Structure 1
Amino acid sequence: MTIDLTRRTLLQLAGATSLAMAAAAAARAEGMPQGGGPTYASRTPMRVGMVTLRVKNLDKVADYYRDVIGLTVMERSASVARLGAGGVALLVLEARPDAAIEPRNAAGLYHTAFLMPSRKDLARWLVAAASHRVPLSGFADHLVSESVYLDDPEGNGIEVYADRDPSQWQWSEGSVKMATDELNIPDLLSLTNTRVADYARAPEGLRVGHMHLRVGDLAQAESFYHGTIGLDPTRKRNGAAFLSSGRYHHHLGMNVWQSQGAGQRDDATTGLAWFSLVTAKQDILAAQEERLRKGGAQLTTLANGVEAVDPWGTRVRLLKA
């Protein structure tokens, strides 16, 4: 397939007239002021495992993640679709045809971030997205990573990104330097042939690199995800906080930009059902469970871990790898 892939094409897909506008859109997606090696996120003591979404139109949403992100459909029925990459399940979609769409000002999912194994993979994906005229909502250079933003058919946010090598991340007093700068599109696209869309399937190493949540109160969210779950703060600014395990830039982002003061989520709506944090270390899992029980958290015992509920009803599963 021959593609007329120009900067103008990408800007049109992002609904922007300039790179600055696209970066501004990405700034809104990450809450930054305007203007690691991909396996690092999975080598940390804890990492994001998989995500489960409640959706109204199962076929439409499953086809989107298959065709746009390149996930492989591993299981599909009238009520559920399981998708992944490299034989690893990353996304489960549960059919809720009668559900209302979760409001943007409710607590819940801000975006699921799919981490490409390499910068070249991100370039190949971007060429394919542009060739299929996939609407984009922004793209930016975050210093630690390079990102493209979009939404699935039911408004669930998505980030597709590639990390810079961790040696290039700048840390100061426990805080990692991030920004929302203009993405150098020509430099990114120089890694691949822009005239041929050769991204038909997600690379085997694609994983969910991080989750970004809408919460009702930042201090309360930090108390739960840092104090109880055990993730470490890596950055805080502009109504958002970022946390990680093992000095990754962030496995979890949280913000109150649209959801300040949000109450309990409605399980009868679409959106995030649960996500998992996975560890290979039994002592970490045991410590998490002890903190949760001491804190009076609502817990459900699972075969390989526990499920906890955050202050707004978002469920997080802590699982043994």
Structure 2
Amino acid sequence: MSQMPAHPIDPGVRIGHVHLKVADLERALPFYRDVLGFEETYRRPGAVFMSAGGYHHHIALNTWESRGGQPPAPGATGLYHLAILYPTRRLLADALRRLVDAGIMLDGASDHGVSEALYLRDFDDNGVELYWDRPREQWPRDADGGIRMKTEPLNLRDLLSELETDAELAGEPLAVSS
């Protein structure tokens, strides 16, 4: 059972953006722009700001303290991963298709009951999670009504089947690589 804080934060609070330290902006940028599809909104020396849908920025890549640097060693503290929430399962499937098309390998793919998630690394070895949340009424619950998360393998072919309707409508077969 989780413990409630004495003074809980307002439920409307959201995490607004993340800044990632990268070694080389021009090497890092294609992953977030060309593979994931974020748009560049602003650039300044040593930094690129990117968003989905015209927001000022969801992700910023910067070299202010990391130009030419190396990823943290295993066992070091720091960011485990950033998580990018997709509004629908179909859009998560499209993200998977983009990764496959770009030849980017997954570290893992999990069904957590409350969500489905893809795990990978960007070109600077930063952990990235791409996920969608199931509707709250579908979240698994324990006998006391608490959230009961799990970690089970995610069926990637089933996820990609979300795109089959689009391909069939366009008259194109959906190619899925193993």
Displacement of 1:196 in angstroms is 5.8
Percent identity, aligned pairs only, is 36
Q: Is residue 2:21 matched to residue 1:51?
A: no
Between Structure 1 and Structure 2, how many residues are aligned? 155
Determine which structure has the larger strand proportion and give its number: 1
AA aligned opposite 2:123: P
Displacement of 1:100 in angstroms is 4.0
AA aligned opposite 1:69: L
Q: Which residue of 2 aligns with 1:106?
A: 76
Q: Name the CA shift for 1:101/1:189 in 2 (closer, same or farther; >3 Å).
A: closer
SS, match of residue 162 in structure 2: coil
CA contact (8 A) 2:82 2:128 kept: yes
Gap regions ≥5 residues in structure 2: 1-9, 168-172
Q: Is residue 2:61 matched to residue 1:90?
A: no
SS, match of residue 80 in structure 2: strand
Displacement of 1:148 in angstroms is 0.7
AA aligned opposite 2:151: T
Q: How does 1:12-51 map to 2 (within 5 A)?
A: 44-51=11-18
Q: Which residue of 2 aligns with 1:154?
A: 124
Displacement of 1:83 in angstroms is 0.7
Gap regions ≥5 residues in structure 1: 1-42, 198-321
Displacement of 1:98 in angstroms is 4.4
CA contact (8 A) 2:114 2:149 kept: yes
Q: How does 1:278-297 map to 2 (within 5 A)?
A: none
Distance in 1 between residues matched to 2:145 and 2:136, nearest whole Å: 14
CA contact (8 A) 2:36 2:98 kept: no
Q: Is residue 2:152 matched to residue 1:184?
A: no
Displacement of 1:120 in angstroms is 0.6
CA contact (8 A) 2:92 2:130 kept: yes
Displacement of 1:186 in angstroms is 3.1
Displacement of 1:136 in angstroms is 1.2
Q: How does 1:238-277 map to 2 (within 5 A)?
A: none
Q: Which residue of 2 aligns with 1:137?
A: 107
Q: Which residue of 2 aligns with 1:118?
A: 88
Q: Which residue of 2 aligns with 1:27?
A: none
Question: What do the CA deviations read for 1:123-178 (whole angstroms, capped 9, x no partner)?
Answer: 11212211221111111111111111110111100010111111011334474111
CA contact (8 A) 2:107 2:119 kept: yes
**Aligned-residue RMSD, C-alpha:** 2.1
Runs (4+) of structure 1 moved beyond 4 Å?
194-197
CA contact (8 A) 2:24 2:68 kept: no
CA contact (8 A) 1:144 1:166 kept: yes
